[in-house]
Structure 1
Amino acid sequence: MSDGEGAPGNDGSQFDRLPATGRERVVEGRATREEVLDWWDERFDVGPETFANHTFWEKGKGKIWVFADELPSPQGREGVGMTVLRTRQEHWKPTTTAVRKWGHLASKNVIDLSPGQATAFAAGHDQDLPEWDGDWGYLIATHELAGEQVPIGVGLYVYDELRSVVPKGYQEELPEL
């Protein structure tokens, strides 16, 4: 597929492996492996070694998937691994699935919620949280369970408000913790 001017374009019907670096990028706007690893490291302090045995793929515009193995590129499949990140928008957004898988490794931009806040967040409710003194943007929301902080999902923090962006399929009414 081309962009109409002869340059390779994005083909939403297949998975294309992310190029390692910008020098190897052939599809304009496509994230690179290096950019994805840097983003996880800079945003959440989840180091590149976390994904050492994984490959990253794009299907559609900006829907990034992670796969724990090697495959030839492109792949004409419905799914390869799991969705991990949304790019090609103003702010990159981790998926709830990725946060539940790797969020326990994060030490930056993690908001620890009280039992009541966690219950509201898991149910998909937004809440005023002016006490947060960290970065604005997408955060990993956690709550304490059996003495450990466990990731619940992704929240968007702006203007002293934590917005739950937990997808409806993941929302749940927790008993009062």
Structure 2
Amino acid sequence: GFATSPGITEWQGDSLREELRLALRIWPRQNDTGGFFIAVLEKGTAVSPTTPSDNTAPLDIEREPWLTILCERYGFTPAQFSSYHLFRWSRKRLYLAQQHHLPPSKLNADTIGLHFMNVDGKYPKLTTAAAMIFGHLATRNTIDLEPEQVANYVARHDFKISATQASHCTGTGYIILRYQGFTMGVGVYRAHVGLVESLYPKGWIRENIYT
């Protein structure tokens, strides 16, 4: 089984919240893992909603045309993004954050929220991270992969797909790739040759995953 240690309510002479006794601590020596601490905190119903103050900075909201492009390409619905802000953080990048997120005005944040889309090219591209979060909601321009194709994808190799696999694709362009119900990321589908170009992040490349 997965070995754990109980949570603690005291640390180096300081008292901690009593609820932390229900948390779990995991150590490398127990499971051959990195050490970390897990605690789930639930917000009580009596907590008042956060309201803007002079210490928060407004975001440069820019939902369109990006939301329409996504919905047209992947079959998303606007309602699926209704609780999020889409905003520019640079000329090339569109970011996403929960609407209740209020960035501080007195700190120079490197980034805020999730890098959601690259918008500097001819066609905007969903990031791998965004695809992994929202890809299960897509209803078109998705492809379900076979094991050998997954190996090619994570090695950043191009690969062929069958006409059956491409049945949800509307033509050449960016697609969302899945395997056994899990979103792997994005690629480019070349409809005229039945080829997928892997856009798996270069820093994540894995070779020979089945050997």
TM-score > 0.5 by shorter chain:
yes
Identify unmatched segments of 5+ residues in structure 2. 1-57
SS in structure 2 at match of 1:102: helix
What corresponds to 2:82 in structure 1? 52
Identify the residue that residue 135 of structure 2 maps to in structure 1.
103
Per-residue displacement from partner, 1:9-67 (whole Å, max 9, x unpaired)? xxxxxx9522xxxxxxxxxxxxx313222122111111111211111121221300101
Measure, in 1, the Cα distance between the counterparts of 2:133 and 2:59.
23
Ranked by relative contact order (alpha carbons within 8 Å, sequence separation 6 or more), the top structure is 1
2: CA distance, partners of 1:106 / 1:163: 19
1:70 positional shift: 4.0
**TM-superposed deviation, 1:173:** 4.2
1:176 aligned onto 2:210: yes
Give the drift of 1:130: 5.9
Query: How far apart are the structure 2 equivalents of 1:52 and 1:82?
Result: 16
The 1-side partners of 2:103 and 2:129 are apart by 25
- 2:205 partner SS: coil
Q: Please, what TM-score do these two structures have when normalized by structure 1? A: 0.73
- After superposition, give the CA deviation of every residue in 1:109-140 in whole Å (9 maximum; x if it has no partner): 00111111112112211113363352211000
| Match in the other structure for 1:166 | 200
Question: Percent same amino acid at aligned positions?
Answer: 27
Give deviations 1:50-89, integer Å, cap 9, x for gaps.
Answer: 2111111212213001011343798842010110101132
Match of 1:115 in 2: 147
Q: Are 2:65 and 1:35 aligned?
A: yes
Task: Find the counterpart in structure 1 of residue 96 from structure 2.
Answer: 66
Contact kept, 8 Å, 2:158 with 2:198, in 1: the verdict is yes
Aligned residues between the structures: 147
Residues 1:124 and 2:160 aligned together: no
> What residue is the counterpart of 1:152 in the other structure?
184
Structure 1: which amino acid aligns with 2:159?
Q
Structure 1, unpaired ranges of 5+: 1-14, 19-31
Letter in 2 for 1:113: L
In the alignment, which residue of structure 1 is the partner of 2:9? none
Residue 70 to residue 111, structure 1, CA distance change in 2 (3 Å): same
How does the TM-score come out when normalised to structure 2? Answer: 0.62
Q: Which residue of 2 aligns with 1:7?
A: none
Any conservation in 2 of the 1:96–1:154 contact (CA below 8 Å)? yes
Residue type of the alignment partner of 2:179 = H
Letter of the structure 1 residue corresponding to residue 204 of structure 2: Y
Larger radius of gyration: 2
Q: CA RMSD in A?
A: 2.6
Q: One-letter code of the match for 1:84?
A: F
